[in-house]
């Protein structure tokens, strides 16, 4: 499966820096799914559960309060407050 770089940072630390197959993020309009090679975007994140799938199929979850995500050049960079 195709992958993309996923990096999640908080105010004080890098929480995650890995390759992912998919990502689901909470927004004010509901959840948005992200896959490799999507078009560039900047997305405001709201409180909710963020889920991502690793190359081996394992699904991980992180609960966030708010944040912002930039998807550019097959990389998702997320700055958020983790609960």
Query: pTM score > 0.85 for this model?
Result: yes
CATH of the domain at 12: 2.60.15.10
Banded model confidence at residue 3, pLDDT cuts 50, 70, 90: very high
How close are the terminal C-alpha atoms of the chain, in Å? 30
Which pLDDT does position 40 carry in this prediction? 96
The total domain count for the chain is: 1
Banded model confidence at residue 1, pLDDT cuts 50, 70, 90: confident
CA angle 22, 50, 75 (to 5 degrees): 45
Task: Quote the CA–CA distance of 17 and 9 in Å, as a whole number.
Answer: 9
User: Residue holding tokens 């990389």?
Assistant: 75
pLDDT tens-place string over residues 16-63? 999 999 999 999 999 999 999 999 999 999 999 999 999 999 999 999
> Residue 2 burial by CB count (10 A; 0-12/13-18/19+): exposed, middle or buried?
exposed
The domain in which residue 34 lies consists of 4-82
């Amino acid at each position: 499966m195709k992958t993309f770089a996923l990096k999640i940072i908080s105010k004080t630390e890098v929480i995650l820096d890995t390759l992912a197959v998919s990502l689901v993020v909470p927004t004010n309009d509901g959840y948005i799914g992200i896959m490799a090679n999507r078009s560039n975007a900047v997305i405001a994140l709201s409180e909710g559960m963020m889920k991502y799938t690793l190359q081996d199929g394992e699904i991980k979850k992180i609960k966030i309060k708010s944040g912002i995500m930039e998807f550019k050049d097959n990389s998702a960079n997320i700055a958020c407050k983790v609960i």
